[in-house]
Copies of this chain bind each other. A is one copy, B any other.
Amino acid sequence: MIAHKIVPNISVDCVVFGFDFEKLNVLLVERELKDEKSGEVIIRDHTLAGYHIFEDEDLDSAAGRILKGLTGLDNIFLEQFGAFGQLDRVSSPRDKRWLDYINKGFADRIVTVGYLALIDNTKVTLRLKERNVSWFPVSMVKEMDLAFDHKYLFYEALEALQRKVKVEPIAFELLPDYFTLSQLQKVYEAVLGTSFDKRNFRKKVAQMHYVIALKKKQQGVAHKPAQYYLFSREVYEKTRKGRISFII
């Protein structure tokens, strides 16, 4: 393995969202520091998935590399939601102690670029146990301790997700390749924190010609089996409407 030189004052942090057909979850990494002598736990909290960028990679590659490391997946949906450079973002006593401890030559002043990542839960559950990484319901984050300004970054990412999901077909990134309309509805509801009328929802989806019914149906379920659908990006790109009107 080649040793890459890190850029000491620039990092990327990924807010990775996943959907378990019930609720929206976020991927967090456990951070633990024990006193070397007493074994007493000094720090135990969580961080976003992030790391410094390398001298020889750009920002998107750095984010991709981090996600690949955590999930084993390439081609994850990734989009910036902001750059954060507050002077004090890395300087709480707890965080300073942590930085001293890991001692990798990071700067005191770190600007981080936040990436929103959406992943299909069904493709990753396996790999997570190998690492101190796990899914947490989005609703639980507000009671958790997160390192640095990561709680702030998390909420910025969540807002970006909520904004974008209304306007771009990104909800599909949280679902498997084949999904039912109920699952699709639940993603939207989980992300936006609302609920929709089933019939109206389906009428709307019916107008999205890029959501295509398959021959396949659910099997082995104790109710009327649902039709599977897929999202076609090609059809989307061809048929997207150029809505020019602006909103009140």
Contact = CB atoms under 8 A, between A and B. Distances in A.
Counting chain A residues whose Cβ lies within 8 A of the other chain, the interface size class is: 35 or more
Interface string A30-69: 0000000000000000000000010111110000000000
Interface stretch (A83-91, A123-131, A214-222): A83-91
Interface in A2-22: 7, 9-10
Given A109-B7, A166-B247, A246-B165, A58 B80 contact: no
Contacts of A207: 248
Interface in A133-160: none
A166 B245 contact: yes
A59 B111 contact: yes
A82 B87 CA distance: 19
Contacts of A85: 10, 53, 58-59, 113
A102 interface: no
Contacts of A57: 87
A173 to B, nearest CB: 14
A83 to B, nearest CB: 4
Contacts of A243: 166, 247
A111 B248 contact: no
Stoichiometry, copies per complex: 2
A204 interface: yes
A208 interface: yes
B113 A192 contact: no
A80 B241 CA distance: 26
A87 B86 CA distance: 24
A56 B87 contact: yes
Contact of A83 (B9, B59, B166, B244): B59
Interface of A: 7, 9-10, 53, 55-59, 80, 82-87, 109, 111, 113, 165-167, 188, 192, 194, 204, 207-208, 241, 243-248
Given A56-B87, A166-B247, A241-B248, 11 more contacts: A7-B109, A10-B10, A59-B83, A80-B83, A85-B113, A111-B111, A166-B244, A166-B246, A192-B244, A192-B246, A204-B246
